[in-house]
Amino acid sequence: MKHGRGRFSQRGISFIGLLILGVVLAFLAIVGARVVPTVTEFMAIQKTAKKVAADGGASPLVIKQKFDLAAAADYISSVSGKDLEVTKDGDKVVINFAYDKEIPLFGPVYLLIKYRGSSDPKFN
């Protein structure tokens, strides 16, 4: 019979490999926990912009005021009516918005996400 590595050799991850994997997974979990609320807020802004654009309005000022009221009800704080670009495409109101979100990770390191959206699907 041969000595050394035979058919009963051990396989798997070493303790150091397990620690590195744990650190990577913890980092990804922390980043994910900080990014998910910003994505949820973006989706709420998108939904509110579509709803306000579908309701229409007499002027961009009225549309922006309607957005502010709806945003306050949905706890939206990243975008307000003054940040919206309201235009007309034929007889349809189109609301465009853009904002940046800085997420602190650790020390001087930040994650920057640039969100852009529109009430018109052809601009998304």
Domain ranges of the chain: 15-123
Q: What is the pLDDT along the chain (124 residues), one digit of tens a residue?
A: 555 556 767 788 889 999 999 999 999 999 999 999 999 999 999 999 999 998 877 788 999 999 999 999 988 999 999 999 999 888 889 999 999 999 998 899 999 999 999 998 776 6
CA 115 – CA 121 distance, rounded (Å): 15
Please tell me the total number of residues recorded for the chain in this structure: 124
CA 13 – CA 71 distance, rounded (Å): 50
Q: CA 28, 30, 33, 37 torsion: positive or negative? A: negative
For residue 66, what pLDDT is reported?
A: 92
Q: What are phi and psi of 74, to 5 degrees?
A: -95, 10
pTM above 0.75, yes or no: yes
Inter-residue contact 45 to 91 (CB < 8 Å) = no
For residue 65, what pLDDT is reported?
A: 92
